[in-house]
Structure 1
Amino acid sequence: MIRNFLFFIFIIFSNPINSQEKLINLLKDDNKLIFIRHAYAPGNGDPANFKLNDCSTQRNLNKEGINQSKIIGQFFSKNKIQVGKVLSSEWCRCKDTAKFAFNEYSTFEALNSFYDPRFEKNKDKQINDLKDYINNWNGNKNLVLITHFVVISEIFKVGASSGEIIISDKELNILARY
């Protein structure tokens, strides 16, 4: 996980200028969907007794994850990338990623994890609700969606590392990954 975080920093801050410019220009073109897997939260899944409304029972961001979130937010701010709306899963690690990166966000149930067997039955409805929301999105700025590995995997048929950004169009064609 640390390696993925360092790779993200390398890509964003150390890439040749033309690669950075391509990413920035892509994002400044607006009307993109920006899927972000929550920042680094050590472990896998959640404790058996976790409660959605009690962060102390969940797997949460550590210092590295908080810093990773802040770096994501600094990238958007520094490059004046327009964000129309930030939506987050209701899980605390996603809400914290949104808070540290973008400050303002709303939760959206369709972005919630269905990794845990208790939530597995929600998968089809969530994915349909998410696709409906995207199809009806009429914003003229980028839409940021902070979610989980399982949601990204179901939408794009690819995995994502903690803090990884997947940029797509409304038809869910992947345009870039960082």
Structure 2
Amino acid sequence: MRIIKITLLLLISFNVSFKVISANDLQNIFSDDGKIIFIRHAYAPGGGDPDGFDISNCASQRNLNFEGIAQSKRIGKFFKEHNIKIDKVLSSEWCRCKETSKYAFINHETKSFLNSFFSQKFAHNKDKQIKELKDYIIKWEGKKNLILVTHYVVISEILNVSTSSGEIVITDKNFNILASINTSNN
């Protein structure tokens, strides 16, 4: 019985991408533009943010380390190699999301509706942010693809899926999941 519990715990704790895609599948997904591409920020060691962190002070936040920077660069390379057309890159105001955006795509703009609401300090923002995010998507008329660099809690709330650091989740405008791509080195 103990072995079964341990096995189940291990299986639950692994974040397995829910859809493995081939280059051909990827080409089919992007055969027409207008996709919403959620990216959980690249690897930043730890969980949550330090007590008393300041959103305007990166030194007070949990940030990307060398591995996270390398992962961000792999994300950018993936988009270039597959010639995925980008309309805009939007990022959370948290530094680990802005860093992911900077290393992967260079240009981005921040939107507060992509911010984390994981900590008690920001939990009250959840409903407002989700509404603003959905409203933004409804009004978005880009001809290419929209990239949203955000946090686990935002992606989980919108798509009802678990994501690992740097994971890419591709959806249509109705948030139907088309594919997930794990960008870790594992």
Call closer, same or farther: CA 1:140–1:113 in 2, change over 3 Å.
same
Could you tell me which amino acid in structure 2 is paired with residue 75 of structure 1?
A: F
Task: Tell whether 2:39 aligns with 1:36.
Answer: yes
For the pair 1:48 / 2:51, whether they are aligned, the reply is yes
Task: Work out whether residues 28 and 81 of structure 1, in 8 Å CA contact, stay in contact via their aligned partners in 2.
Answer: no
For structure 2, which runs of at least 5 residues remain unmatched after alignment? 1-13, 182-186
The corresponding residue for 1:123 is 126
2:62 to 53, 59, 62: 59
Aligned to 2:165, which of 139, 162, 173?
A: 162
Give yes or no for contact 1:110–1:129 (8 Å, CA) kept in 2.
yes
Q: CA RMSD in A?
A: 1.6
Give, in whole Å, the separation in 1 of the partners of 2:31 and 2:71: 22
1:76 aligns with 2:79: yes
- Once superposed, which parts of structure 1, at least 4 consecutive aligned residues long, lie more than 6 Å away? none
Q: 2:29 pairs with 21, 26, 41, which one?
A: 26
Deviates more, 1:75-84 or 1:57-66: 75-84
Identity of aligned residues (%): 58
- Written as runs of structure 1 = structure 2, the 5 A alignment for 1:135-174 is 135-174=138-177
Greater helix share, structure number = 1
SS of 2:68 mapped into structure 1? helix
Q: Which moved more, 1:21-30 or 1:86-95?
A: 21-30
Q: Which amino acid aligns with 1:120?
A: A
**By how many angstroms is 1:28 displaced?**
4.7
Which residue identity lines up with residue 170 of structure 1 in the other structure? Answer: K
Aligned to 1:113: 116
Alpha-carbon offset, residue 21 of structure 1: 2.4
The 3 A distance-change label for structure 1 pair 91 and 28 is: farther
CA deviation after TM superposition for structure 1 residue 22, in Å: 1.3
TM-score normalized by structure 2?
Answer: 0.85
SS where residue 148 of structure 2 aligns?
strand
Deviation at 1:109, TM superposition (A): 0.4
**Structure number with bigger Rg:** 2
CA distance in 1, matches of 2:53, 2:142: 35
* Residue 92 of structure 1: aligned partner: 95
The answer to whether the 8 Å contact 1:24/1:81 transfers is: no
Unaligned runs of 5+ in 1: none
SS of 1:167's equivalent? strand
Supply the AA of the counterpart residue of 2:46.
Answer: G
Residue pair 1:28, 1:82 contacting (<8 A) in 2 also: no
Could you list the per-position Cα deviations for residues 117-136 of structure 1 after superposition, in whole angstroms to 9, with x for gaps in the alignment?
Answer: 01000000000000000001
